A = this chain, B = another copy of it.
Amino acid sequence: MMTPTVREVCAEVLGRATPSPKERERVVTLAEELENRVERAAKEAGVRAEVRVEGSVAKDTWLSGEPDIDIFIRVPTTMPPTAFRTTLLEVARKATEGYRRVERFAEHPYLEAVTDSIRVNIVPCYQTKPGEWISATDRTPFHTDYVKPRLDEALRGEIRLLKRFMKGTMTYGAEIKVGGFSGYLCELLVLSNDSFLNVLRVFADWGERRAIDYEGYYRGREAEAKKIFEEPLIVVDPVDRGRNAASAVRRERLDEFISAARAFLSRPSLTFFYPPETKALPTERLADAVKKRGSALVFVRFGRVKAVPDILWGQLYKTQRSLRKMIQRHGFGVIRDRAWSDEGNVNMLIFELEQRFLTPVRKHLGPPIGKRAECERFLQKHVASPNTVSGPRVEAGRWVVETRRRCVDVVDLLYERLRDGGRGAGVAELISKVIPNTLEVRVNEDISELYSASHEFAGFLTEYLEGRPKWLRETYA
């Protein structure tokens, strides 16, 4: 089989990702119908509101097979926050009666509904002047109004290519879980660089930290922009010069996007857009795979945390960082660590360690010989201590001593530090509440029960063990 060219791959992807007229009609009809229902419900509730379709459906930049319909209820700034949080949700509930629904609150209340396997978000916002934002979603209608008139059919295609590429390389999505690129950010990147391939070229050549500033708000003051925004990627929001439209992008996702862009340009393949689904390793081969690896996979599992996904993942990541540092401080070598959640009953932090057990003896560095009083205290403490194994002695200018470790098994360490919820070990608040009653620490193949029960977890762990972006599999192998 001959390697396809970049153009050939893009043409193929465009064909797959662009909705057919029929699909488009179905989605647009559904969006309009929902718009009407929400409008009616608002009127019945006596709410003065502008109801609008926003997001990728409004801009016609959604991907075939995966539309997300966003309906915004835009109300005057005079509506008090309490009414905003209650009355408007009531309106949304009314408009989606009979749908499968979840009410979501992060900073902002909204309602998610599913109909005909299409996800619909009904989101309240205030009709403010630019820059006088009250709620987190007040900018969205401005984003729509900014992008929509600047697009034509060709640019919409370029945006679809970029979105599909980011989805395929796992860098798409501004939610905390992912920390990647939002749809709006994709649109701005294509507007700034004219085409999908130009976006890839710009990122493939990424050198030092740079600001992309389509409206030129910081023209001649790029250094200043880099000071104002601290995130790894800066894309100045055209509707708000004080906002970084790429603020959600974490360093890891940026680096992965850069790497994927380079790889695609030199080794074009459909894999970047449509990676094959991971086939989970059969449960009976898990123990063997882990054993061959030789490290210790430590699974810290706990139960349901009452929080919307963004809050949940924020708490998981914070706890992951704290526990990683705590484990390292106790002398364990951490190879890698990850968080996993089904956003339901199972939450998990995974720490891959060089080994589960540490050497019982530990070399402890004391004060430099120059510090006389500290040396005296060190000797008084360690010479007669029952924990002293060897020493104290002088080595490289300081007193040192070998002492017996209090804790040589990471499993004991974790149970000990987390028993009370682990606030002292840096566990995030909501997680610390569920830990005392639900904590389980498992090592290596002791996780196989969950592995065989959860297809999703099995896929995740298989990918973890492989430990590489999917596109690397075929393109460099």
Q: Which residue of B lies closest to A263 (CB)?
A: B379
Q: How close is A214's CB to chain B, nearest CB, in angstroms?
A: 24
Which residues of chain B have C-beta atoms less than 8 A from A429's C-beta? Answer: none
Q: Does A130 contact B (CB under 8 A)?
A: no
B390 touches A465 (CB 8 A): yes
A467 touches B370 (CB 8 A): no
Given A359-B355, A383-B468, the answer on whether A369 and B259 have CB atoms closer than 8 Å is yes
Which residues of chain B have C-beta atoms less than 8 A from A477's C-beta? Answer: 383-384
A293 touches B389 (CB 8 A): yes
Q: How close is A45's CB to chain B, nearest CB, in angstroms?
A: 49
Q: Which of A4-12, A91-99, A394-402 contacts B (4 or more CB under 8 A)?
A: A394-402
Q: Which residue of B lies closest to A256 (CB)?
A: B394
Q: Does A295 contact B (CB under 8 A)?
A: yes
The contact string, 1 if C-beta is below 8 Å from chain B, for chain A 340-355, is: 0000000000000011
Distance between Cα atoms of A237 and B35 in the complex (Å): 98
Which residues of chain B have C-beta atoms less than 8 A from A58's C-beta? Answer: none
Q: How close is A372's CB to chain B, nearest CB, in angstroms?
A: 6
Q: Does A32 contact B (CB under 8 A)?
A: no
B469 touches A262 (CB 8 A): no
Q: How close is A76's CB to chain B, nearest CB, in angstroms?
A: 46
A259 touches B295 (CB 8 A): no
Which residues of chain B have C-beta atoms less than 8 A from A380's C-beta? Answer: 476
Which of B262, B294, B361, B466 has a CB less than 8 Å from the CB of A335? B361
Q: Does A279 contact B (CB under 8 A)?
A: no
Q: Which residue of B lies closest to A258 (CB)?
A: B369
Q: How close is A211's CB to chain B, nearest CB, in angstroms?
A: 17
Which of B251, B359, B393, B469 has a CB less than 8 Å from the CB of A393? B469
Q: Does A376 contact B (CB under 8 A)?
A: yes
Which of B206, B208, B392, B468 has a CB less than 8 Å from the CB of A472? B392
Distance between Cα atoms of A389 and B394 in the complex (Å): 41
B468 touches A390 (CB 8 A): yes
Which residues of chain B have C-beta atoms less than 8 A from A392's C-beta? Answer: 468, 472
Q: Does A375 contact B (CB under 8 A)?
A: yes
Which residues of chain B have C-beta atoms less than 8 A from A399's C-beta? Answer: 259
Which residues of chain B have C-beta atoms less than 8 A from A379's C-beta? Answer: 263, 472, 476
Which residues of chain B have C-beta atoms less than 8 A from A476's C-beta? Answer: 379-380, 383-384
A372 touches B204 (CB 8 A): yes
B465 touches A394 (CB 8 A): no
Q: Which residue of B lies closest to A207 (CB)?
A: B370
Which residues of chain B have C-beta atoms less than 8 A from A336's C-beta? Answer: 363, 390, 395, 402
Distance between Cα atoms of A477 and B262 in the complex (Å): 65
A262 touches B372 (CB 8 A): yes
A467 touches B391 (CB 8 A): yes
Q: Does A68 contact B (CB under 8 A)?
A: no
Contacting B at CB under 8 A, from A187-219, are: 204-208
Q: Which residue of B lies closest to A381 (CB)?
A: B476
- 7 contacts across the A-B interface (CB closer than 8 A): A259-B369, A259-B375, A354-B359, A355-B359, A393-B468, A394-B469, A402-B467
Given contacts A252-B396, A255-B394, A255-B397, 9 further A-B contacts (CB under 8 A): A207-B370, A256-B394, A293-B390, A336-B363, A355-B359, A383-B476, A384-B476, A392-B468, A394-B469
